[in-house]
Amino acid sequence: MKWILIAVLIVVGVIAGIFAFEYLTNSVGHLPSWVPGHVARRKTRGHMHKRGYVAAIVAIGAFATAGWLIYKNRLAAKSAGGATTEV
């Protein structure tokens, strides 16, 4: 169950990273149709910085949480494995 949560967090981080990249590098009128906020044939300049920054924060948070859970699981496995070999 723990590894499923870690896998979900990694997938969420990758998806949020892709959205952050799209929002911060493409202007409003050139966003792909699968990105929320896309307006067809809109001749507006600028980027959606707020959405890009939020997506980047979500990606960093998801990766950090997944990394922390991996570290915690490995530490618990190492301490449980070390205790059984000493007995």
pLDDT of residue 66: 96
For the segment 1-37, what is each residue's pLDDT rounded down to a tens digit? 788 999 999 999 999 999 999 888 887 777 777 777 6
Report the sign of the C-alpha dihedral through residues 3, 73, 69, 67, in that order: negative
Residue 87 lies in a domain: no
pLDDT of residue 57: 97
Name the amino acid, one letter, at 1: M
Q: Within 10 Å of residue 60's Cβ, how many Cβ atoms?
A: 14
Residue 86 lies in a domain: no
pLDDT of residue 87: 41
- The model's pTM is 0.78
Half-sphere exposure of 53 (CA within 13 A, CB side): 4
Residue with tokens 């959405």: 51
Based on the structure, what is the number of domains in the chain? 1
For the segment 70-83, what is each residue's pLDDT rounded down to a tens digit? 999 999 888 887 65
What range does the domain containing 53 cover? 2-81
Residue 7 lies in a domain: yes
Residue 39 lies in a domain: yes
Q: Radius of gyration (Cα) for the chain, nearest Å? A: 20
